[in-house]
Amino acid sequence: MKYEVITKEDFPSFVNGLLSEIEVVGVKMKEGKFHYDKIKSYDELCLDYDVTLIPPKKYLLPPKETLLKFSLGGAIQVEPSIDATPRVILGVHPYDIKAIELMDAVFSDSNPDANYMERRRNTVIVGVDCRNPSPNAFCPSMGTDTTETGFDLLLTDIGEQYVVAIGSEKGEELLKKHARTREATEADLAQRKAAQEEALAKYKLSIKAAVEEIPELLEKNYDHPLWEELAAKCLSCGSCTMVCPTCVCFDVQDDLELNLTAGERFRQWDSCMLQGFAKVATGENFREDCTSRLRHRYFRKGNYMLKRYGKLGCVGCGRCIGACLAEIANPVEAYNRLKEGS
Amino acid sequence: MKPRLAFFDFTGCEGCQLEVINFEQELLDILSAADIVNFREAMTERSDDYDIAFIDGAITTERDVARIKEIRERAKILVAIGACACIGGVNCLKNFYPMEEVLRIVYGESAHYYDTIPARPVDAVVPVEYYVQGCPMTQSEFVKVVKALLAGKKPEIPNYPVCVECKMAGNICVFEKGETCVGPVTRAGCNALCVTNGRICWGCRGLVDDPNTDSEKEILAKYNLTPEEIIAKFRMFLGYSEVAK
Ligand code: SF4
Ligand code: SF4
Ligand code: SF4
Ligand code: SF4
Ligand code: SF4
């Protein structure tokens, strides 16, 4: 990998340069929390944050999106609808980059998702290593505290400067065009490593099992009383999945206009934690009881995704831990309890 | 033939009927697909010949009981609109006092001219086919139900909590801001209107089908609400349901 260095003094003009040619979304403050939003200038941007409320997946799989428009009067007309505005997502943490890699795997599999794929092609990811992790994060356990893949550029704060890892040609071009940089020296790279290690020491939570052990740990404990115990408190509110960067489920519906001859097909986020998720047209519900829904989420994260895509379905961002009012969506607690065999 | 629609109001603030009148384009579209034959708020003509009856307001007197039964007999389809009609709504606040006291508080000296019974939703008296929840009723859901009726389909009404829409809107949960709400057991469909606008969810859209109210109560207690405060929270709109007893 190639590495460049940009000073913090020069960084604003890089961002403003990007803004002159493409939409840029980045992390902003919102009532003491952080969220992704469109930015108009460098000043709004926050690069030292713990975690955002909603992951950047909202730009690749919007909460609600029109898939096609149709009209039924006379000859039936169907027109696909894809909003794939070119944009840079700026300041993505490594765990969220890993999650996007997983989304790429899901949406490009067997029957590629046209809307996702086109948006993805038009998206540039400029990541940043996380300096101050959220108290709920457990990235080191999942190997996602930093990443070597999945980005166009990745920044690491080394004090007065950023080391920029170049992940793609597109990234390199944008950097060349809009920033004054110099090649990184051995000393810069040593500082980069030190900065990453310093951050690593700040994580508070960890899973007592090795990542490779998790799938089997779950399989062995399919009938563990833990699932029922947690489900007793579950609100089936979906919060744990809505905020999860690796949750990609959606529901497709048609919306007819009042004239009943034209309308649109749209999709919106869905969740395996919701009561109706596994209900089919004939009325049966494959996961009617809350226990099976709750267990399914853990299995999807820690077992099914790995089997199907070769990647674990959890990147350790800890968002679910913070979002669950019932305090039962915590993967660290669940895996550790299974590991301890209690 | 166009279906004939009728609107009837019972005990409520008429806010829901106003919501219907407040439609602009949609109302014209509805009128081109259906005939409105009875709507006290909007027209003088009255007809007792209708297919679909929209009911707003709760049932709070013996006269209401007789009247809703009569409407039920005439209508092929009955749609409850608004919290009062769907779940009883704020009217049920009075159910926690003796009825004589309620009459005295409201009518004073002339209390003996009036009768009143504990407030109840429409479906506590007659069967209801469809519901348009909310206080006032959620406009987009009203349109959704009308469209489904015209197309002869079942409307897609969410059976998941407001939290889903809160997250989709990118809201910060009010529990993280030192407040509490009953959104985790309340039926979504309003796009988390109140939280998105900086307030809390009071549950005006009623409970989801299988709410975990025990867990919700535990959570409210964990966030330092007293048992009385918890009950009060549920009584605002959900007074008719078990959870508020
Ligand atoms: S399961 Fe939880 S910790 Fe894991 S990626 Fe999803 S939100 Fe983050
Ligand atoms: S685990 Fe928690 S956040 Fe997830 S659905 Fe259940 S109560 Fe909601
Ligand atoms: S539901 Fe609300 S707006 Fe509608 S009639 Fe009742 S009080 Fe008024
Ligand atoms: S504010 Fe209320 S409705 Fe929104 S996520 Fe929090 S608990 Fe759920
Ligand atoms: S947020 Fe709650 S109180 Fe507000 S409209 Fe929606 S259901 Fe009603």
Residue B124 Cα to chain centre, angstroms: 13
Give me the residues paired with residue A153 across strands.
A126, A166
Label residue A283 by pLDDT band (50, 70, 90). Answer: confident
Instruction: List residues near ligand 2 (CB under 6 A).
Output: A 234-240, 273, 323-324, 326, 328-329
Report CB contact under 8 Å: A31, B160: no
What percent of chain B clears pLDDT 90, i.e. is strictly above it?
76
Domain count, chain B: 2
Is A205 among the domain residues?
no
| Confidence at residue A257, expressed as pLDDT on a 0 to 100 scale | 87
Q: Residue A238: its chain B contacts at CB < 8 A? A: 160-161, 163-164, 167
Minimum Cα–Cα distance from A260: chain B residue: B151
Whether A90 and A222 map to the same domain: the answer is no
Answer yes or no: do B135 and B168 share one domain. no
How would residue A342 be classed by pLDDT, with cut points 50, 70 and 90? low
Domain boundary among A154, A169, A200: A200
- Are B49 and B145 within one domain? yes
CB atoms within 10 A of CB B174: 19
Contact yes or no for A260 and B147 at CB 8 A: yes
Per the prediction, chain A carries an average pLDDT of 94
Cβ of residue A175 closer than 8 Å to a chain B Cβ: no
Among A258, A264, A289, most B C-beta atoms within 10 A, so best to mutate, is A258
Nearest CB to B147: which of A238, A256, A290? A256
* Spatial contact of A213 and A338, defined as CB atoms under 8 Å apart: no
Q: What share of chain A is helix, strand, coil (3-state, %, to 5)?
A: 35, 20, 40
Statement to judge: residues A89 and A228 lie in one domain:
no
Whether B77 has a pLDDT exceeding 70, the answer reads: yes
Confidence class for position B71, pLDDT limits 50, 70, 90 = very high
Tell me, yes or no, whether A14 and A112 share the same domain. yes
Is any ligand 4 atom within 6 A of the Cβ of residue B59?
no
Largest CA distance in chain A: 71
Q: What is the pLDDT of residues A174-205, one digit of tens each?
A: 999 999 999 999 999 999 999 999 999 999 99
Last residue of a domain, one of A142, A174, A200: A200
Question: Does residue B33 belong to any structural domain of this protein?
Answer: yes
pLDDT of residue A173 exceeding 90 = yes
Find the domain containing A87 and state its range: 2-200
What is the overall mean pLDDT for chain B?
A: 94
Q: Rounded to an integer, what distance in angstroms lies between the CA atom of residue A165 and that of residue A144?
A: 16
CA–CA min distance B163, chain A (Å): 6
Measure CB to CB from residue A271 to each of B159, B164, B218 and give the nearest one: B164
Chain A environment of B155 (Cβ under 8 Å): none
Per residue in B147-173, pLDDT (tens digit) is 999 888 889 999 999 999 999 999 999
What mean pLDDT comes out for the span B226-236? 96
How many angstroms separate the Cα of A121 from the Cα of each of A86, B149, B197? 8, 42, 35
- Residues in B touching A268 (Cβ below 8 Å): 168
Chain B positions touching A243 (Cβ under 8 A) are: 167
Q: Which of B210, B206, B73, B214 is nearest to B137 (CA)?
A: B206
- A244 in contact with ligand 1, CB cutoff 6 A: yes
Provide the domain limits for residue B115.
4-151
ipTM value, please give it.
0.94
Secondary structure E strands in B117-211? 130-132
- In sequence order, the β-bridge partners of residue A163 are A5, A156
Given B89, B118, B151, which residue is the final one in a domain? B151
| Structural domain contains residue B156 | no
Burial B32-58 (b: 16+ CB within 10 A, else e): ebbebbbbeeeeeeeeeebbbbbbbbb
Domain boundary among B151, B183, B215: B151
Q: How far is CA A21 from CA A14, A18, A24, A87, in A?
A: 11, 6, 9, 9
Same domain, B126 and B207: no
